[in-house]
Structure 1
């Protein structure tokens, strides 16, 4: 059995990590606590190696924070909690797929917008999108939306084109795209009057969701291998 024990440096090298990273993972509960030898040094077992492999495999699909929470739950004997966390990640992925489908559908149905119908103010529009008014103002400062000002009240007035742009921005933000990437796309959509500029973005978005789904499968296999290890 002793020949199966590894030093921190051995476990780190096997996974392309620093020794300190391995110690940090143990301290965070991502790895189970290691036994100490007579000299006080940590001694890692094959179970620790599988735990580390499982964590590193979970990160691409679930993210660092969720992967850490999953491993902590497993190491605390709360397997049901770990599986619930995994279910939540899959549910989020499914929601992201629905958002992508909604964005694609919205773009496919873009049409010329009447110039003087459907005006609204910042509060009602923010409520409709489930946002804070401050978010819409932030988008305005970034040049993503350009509501006109009411001459009498000075209030922002969002016309149909502004509402369409805000809806697209909101959906793209939910898809994980930063404002810096959205800005030129919205500008091109306005100028071109069509969806061609967004076709490559939707393709990339779909590829990233597919990659996350595949990564979740890989992570599940590695975690299952760790769960099979004898305590």
Structure 2
């Protein structure tokens, strides 16, 4: 016989408040509760599993993304749902690769190393946007905010990003992806021409790597709850 839970019991079991449980039900994170004759909500073990899965996933990828991901997981066969979870891990890996590329680039523009100060090579706005996985409009916005200073080449004055500007763009992208604001990033970018500034940027990127490692661990912890959720969904569906 299914285990029935009142709103307060479900809230205590998952670390949410009663109102948060009701809100998450309204948002579709968990299925609608059964209602008694007097209107009281009654939840089952399936609601407990779904809410625990959401809580773990929200810590790993954020609440908004977790809501949409859970909604999609519940509508897919288990093999497709598992592939979607794999893509979440892959997304974190791609973020980490971008941060590591930014850190590697910092060494190439360090003023103390004259031989590496101008590593050569340039990119168009389309090439750089593709490399950073952002729209070209984002690069134009960063330029308007004083974060990037591309060269203008040819009769059409097309944007061309030098090797040094590519490094700056990688640093900006990594910090923006981590939630840093434009003013804070502008302060870091403004000092990339000296050794203390590069050290400051390196520390900021190290903090990003630490945050990504924590999110990866959280996503691993979410896996057990997600597996149980998927198995219940498959059996129920």
Q: TM range, normalised to the smaller chain?
A: 0.7 to 0.9
Gaps of 5+ in 1: none
Gaps of 5+ in 2: 110-115
Distance 2:168 2:82 in 1: 39
TM-score (norm 1): 0.76
Larger radius of gyration, structure 1 or 2? 1
Distance 2:206 2:56 in 1: 25
Alpha-carbon deviations, 1:163-217, whole Å to 9, x = none?
A: 5534543454455544333212211112438732222112211101110110001
Matched residues, number: 223
Of residues 198, 202, 207 in structure 2, which corresponds to 1:204?
Answer: 207
Alpha-carbon deviations, 1:109-151, whole Å to 9, x = none?
A: 223349xx97x8xxx731221266654443233222345789x
Taking structure 1 as reference, are residues 83 and 29 closer, same or farther at Cα in structure 2, changes over 3 Å only?
farther
8 Å CA contact retained: 1:73, 1:81: no
8 Å CA contact retained: 1:30, 1:51: yes
Distance 2:228 2:135 in 1: 45
Distance 1:157 1:226 in 2: 49
TM-score (norm 2): 0.74
After TM superposition, the structure 1 = structure 2 runs for residues 26-175 of structure 1, keeping only pairs within 5 Å, are: 26-76=25-75, 78-110=77-109, 111-113=116-118, 125-130=124-129, 134-146=137-149, 161-162=164-165, 164-174=167-177
